Amino acid sequence: MESFSLILAIVVVTALAFDFTNGFHDTANAMATTISTGAMRPKAAVAMSAVLNLVGAFLSVEVANTISKGLVDETGIRPEVIFAALVGAILWNLLTWLVGLPSSSSHALMGGLIGATVATAGIGAVHGGVLVTKVLIPALAAPLVAGIAAMLAARLTYRLGRKADGKAAEKGYRAGQIASAGLVSLAHGTNDAQKTMGIITLALIAGGALAPDSDPPLWVILSAGVAIALGTYLGGWRIIRTMGKGLTDLQPQQGFAAQTSAATVILASSHLGFSLSTTHSVSGSVMGAGLGRKGGVVRWSTATRMFVAWGLTLPAAAVVAALAEWVCGFGDWGTALVALFLVASSAAIWKISRREVVDHTNVNDPGTPAEEPAGVVTQAIAAVTPPPTSTLEEELTATVPAPSVPAPTAPASAAAGADPANPPAKTTV
């Protein structure tokens, strides 16, 4: 068996790229509250999270063979389909990172798989019932479950801890937050790095480089773990800022309650067989903890934009993946075109992100009067970009920024929301 075709190599590299975006997209899940409450310095926090992600990738040998979770018919899946799915997932991850919104990387991946499968095998290959039970219901349930638990826990810790003050209490809450954040990081490494390993293994099997039903080879485990750790260390500072400061203002007690609730929900759900998204759980628990303090507020405008992004994740990734799969269908030059497009649009998104840099130095100062870091970013983008054309992006526009921005600025920011994905979209399709 000749070992490695070009398309396989491309899929593996793309999968690792997805793993990387997954890492920096989800740093916020583990570390946003820890950073915003000052329990750890930003760099130290992401470094710890990165190490634990790497460790997590090696902890479990239970192979993520259920990547698509029965969403699509996996028989006869070709490497090109997986490639197209990854393109959709990566672009959506980058786009939501640009506007600083936490969204589920797993949903993006599932959306990508659905879109690519539909494009290649028709709508019949997607199992609608599974879509509802594995995607829709968990997406609604996760923030509720984690939020209610975090709210009660925050209330309780304020009540019980009335007499806790001074250095001991401060140190205690700090240690508690670090421990629970570490647990989230570890669980994330296990779950999400495994997902990528599963994808690569699936591609290798589909491409005939591996025997069916084989375990991921060591180099796959190693590279997936390293990619996710590197991504985590890079830190998705924009999303960290939204989650740690944008949704609500957290005190150490709340940060502790939120992180504990998130860790518990993630572990309980994956263990009891009703898998919930890490991102959704953490966002929910942050909001719950925000409500759990007397006088605590949740910025519902930011929260609404986040919910909209969650709703769009799957369809948006699906549309991009379907387009990518369609172009790939033209043959090798089509695949090359998609690969080129992926690189170009990633570079473009990165370039746009440099206009307003968010990193470890300013992750904790959202500029209080603005209150909407992402909104500021969006408007900055709006100022420099051509008007949108594609329908998908218009949908995104209409829904995402609208609630957060007052009427006069709405058109501008609308154009902004649409834009990042847009110029690339024109080049491909």
Q: Which of 11, 40, 57, 149 binds another protein (CB under 8 A)?
A: 149
CA distance 338 to 84: 8
Shortest Å, Cβ 148 to another protein: 7
Q: Which of 21, 269, 301, 428 binds another protein (CB under 8 A)?
A: 269
Shortest Å, Cβ 288 to another protein: 10
Q: Which of 32, 89, 110, 145 binds another protein (CB under 8 A)?
A: 145
Q: Which of 190, 301, 378, 404 binds another protein (CB under 8 A)?
A: 190
- Strand-pairing partners, residue 72, are 126
Within its chain, how far is the Cα of 337 from the centroid?
A: 26
Does residue 156 touch another protein according to CB under 8 A?
Answer: yes
Residue 224 contacts by C-beta under 8 Å, 6 or more apart in sequence?
15, 16, 19, 57, 193, 194, 196, 197, 200, 216
Residue 317 contacts by C-beta under 8 Å, 6 or more apart in sequence?
88, 89, 91, 92, 107, 108, 109, 110, 111, 112, 115
Handedness of CA 98, 99, 102, 107 (dihedral sign): negative
Shortest Å, Cβ 376 to another protein: 34
Q: Which of 2, 3, 124, 163 binds another protein (CB under 8 A)?
A: 163
CA distance 153 to 261: 8
Q: Are the C-beta atoms of 121 and 146 separated by less than 8 Å?
A: no
Q: What angle do CA 271, 303, 376 make, to 5 degrees?
A: 130
Q: What angle do CA 155, 177, 245 make, to 5 degrees?
A: 75
The backbone torsions φ and ψ at residue 409, rounded to the nearest 5 degrees and listed phi first, read -85, -10
Q: Which of 97, 233, 237, 256 binds another protein (CB under 8 A)?
A: 256
Q: Which of 186, 287, 348, 416 binds another protein (CB under 8 A)?
A: 186
Does residue 169 touch another protein according to CB under 8 A?
Answer: yes
Q: Which of 13, 66, 172, 356 binds another protein (CB under 8 A)?
A: 172
Does residue 56 touch another protein according to CB under 8 A?
Answer: yes
CA distance 35 to 271: 28
Residues 273-302 that bind another protein (CB under 8 A): 273-274, 276
Q: Which of 12, 46, 57, 187 binds another protein (CB under 8 A)?
A: 187
Residue 295 contacts by C-beta under 8 Å, 6 or more apart in sequence?
none
Does residue 141 touch another protein according to CB under 8 A?
Answer: yes
Q: Which of 66, 133, 364, 385 binds another protein (CB under 8 A)?
A: 133
Does residue 271 touch another protein according to CB under 8 A?
Answer: yes
**Residue among 393, 389, 83, 309 nearest 207 (CA):** 83
Q: Select 89 or 146, whichever has its Cβ closest to another protein.
A: 146
Place of tokens 């957060």: 404
Q: Give residues in contact with another protein (CB under 8 A).
A: 56, 59-60, 128-129, 132-133, 137, 141, 145-146, 148-150, 152-154, 156-157, 160-161, 163-169, 172-173, 176, 179-180, 183, 186-187, 190, 256-257, 260-261, 263-265, 267-274, 276
